[in-house]
Amino acid sequence: MSLLTERPPAILGGTPIRPNGPPEWPADDAFVRSELLKLIDSRDWGRYHGPHVPDLCRRLADYHGVEHVLPCSSGTAAVELALRGVGVTADDEVILAGYDFKANFQNVLCLRAMPVLVDLHPETWQLDPARLEAAVSSRTRAILVSHLHGGMVDAPHVRQIAEAHGIALIEDACQSPGAKLYGRVAGTWGDVGVLSFGGSKLLTAGRGGAVITSRNDIAERIKRYVQRGNDAYPLSEMQAAIVCPQLDQLDARNEHRRDAVRRLSLRLSDVTGLTPLQIPTVDVQPTYYKVGFRYQAEDFAGLPRDLFAQAMRAEGIAFDAGFRGLHLIHASRRFRAADDLREASRADAEMLTLHHPVLLEADSAIEEIASAVHKVREWAAEIMERKGRFDTQKTAEV
């Protein structure tokens, strides 16, 4: 043991490596603070209509190179509107990964359509385009892909398949604003993309979202649905105003996060059983709302994934389990499985995620994360001996 690891981890009564816990989000931001003060002085914060929502829409359109931005009340609402925009109706089928945010699955059901689940790519744990052909049927209306946990779906391949079958492609970029694949911004590979401004997201207004598209028919269909005398899914002036300065900083912050993940990956390269999903390359520039890892308990003295995450949280580092596999939390009559979903089941059992705020901290934060991992690994057998003391209920990501 090193001097650091010879002391017990916090879960066994030792001193946490980060006694103040994970950094809070949203972080204090002078530009956001300035916008809030301007809102108070102008009273724009309480207006139904004002300059800030149109300004945000223009900025998002320029950033993504799209014709239409339709702001809305959440990322979940944005997915629903995107589904409606491409014409999904009762008895249609929508293909999505067996491992995804459950609201995407439920949005399909909300439209009385049928989710069709396909497996993940075994190396990236993102939706596997090679599984799509077998999933397509005469009822397939859309493919919904999500870039998750710092990984990116092979969107060009998915788009090629969608176009060949005349199927709409919806790209969920709620976790990946500003990510780039072959130089193209996430959310723009499909017929329509969705963004989230939720409280924990990289662009945050507490709540909110947006639909982005260059297709006039999709934009018009969404507008007709939401306009009911008033906007039924509104984004407020205050929310729009505080997203704008964050958008200005997004590229720089994303690069900072990517650099942090590169350094963390190097520091953990000697740790078998904890493997990052995807490392940035020239062609793939992900963003990190969460940093996804494959966790293999056998390399940690059999320490269960959820107990490892609990031990890391005790050290002040925000590790959690990932999503649940959609096929494991919904009745089989609610979906059609296009294959055995083996990798989705593995992701359900083995995915670990690190929450993003720590990636914007000083370089020392990366050393603290790595030190905590090594400490928990060194003491894994002792933690296992006392595991009956700990509540190991799975804490799923949101």
Strands of 100-181 (E only): list them: 114-118, 140-146, 168-172, 180-181
Write down the pLDDT at residue 386.
86
Write down the pLDDT at residue 33.
96
Task: Identify which of 171, 167, 216 has the alpha carbon closest to the alpha carbon of residue 78.
Answer: 171
pLDDT tens string, the chain, 398 residues long: the values are 565 667 899 999 999 999 999 999 999 999 999 999 999 999 999 999 999 999 999 999 999 999 999 999 999 999 999 999 999 999 999 999 999 999 999 999 999 999 999 999 999 999 999 999 999 999 999 999 999 999 999 999 999 999 999 999 999 999 999 999 999 999 999 999 999 999 999 999 999 999 999 999 999 999 999 999 999 999 999 999 999 999 999 999 999 999 999 999 999 999 999 999 877 777 999 999 999 999 999 999 999 999 999 999 999 999 999 999 999 999 999 999 999 999 999 999 999 999 999 999 999 999 999 999 999 999 999 999 987 777 665 555 55
Sheet holding 184-185, edge to edge: 184-185, 180-181, 284-285
The H or E element that residue 195 is part of is strand 192-196
Contact status, residue 195 vs residue 174, Cβ threshold 8 Å: yes
Contact status, residue 74 vs residue 194, Cβ threshold 8 Å: no
Domains of the chain, start order? 30-247 (3.40.640.10), 250-389 (3.90.1150.10)
Task: Identify which of 357, 342, 359, 358 has the alpha carbon closest to the alpha carbon of residue 121.
Answer: 342
Residues near 24 by beta carbon (within 8 Å), at least 6 away in sequence: 357
**Quick one: the chain helix, strand, coil %, rounded to 5?**
45, 15, 40
| pTM listed for this prediction | 0.95
Write down the pLDDT at residue 4.
61
Please tell me what DSSP assigns to residue 359: G
Task: Identify which of 182, 140, 147 has the alpha carbon closest to the alpha carbon of residue 161.
Answer: 140
Contact status, residue 44 vs residue 180, Cβ threshold 8 Å: no
Task: Identify which of 174, 182, 154, 167 has the alpha carbon closest to the alpha carbon of residue 104.
Answer: 174
Q: Tokens 């207006």 map to which residue?
A: 47
Task: Identify which of 368, 200, 212, 350 has the alpha carbon closest to the alpha carbon of residue 289.
Answer: 200
**Tokens representing residue 340 in the block:** 């055995």
Please tell me what DSSP assigns to residue 299: G
Write down the pLDDT at residue 1.
55
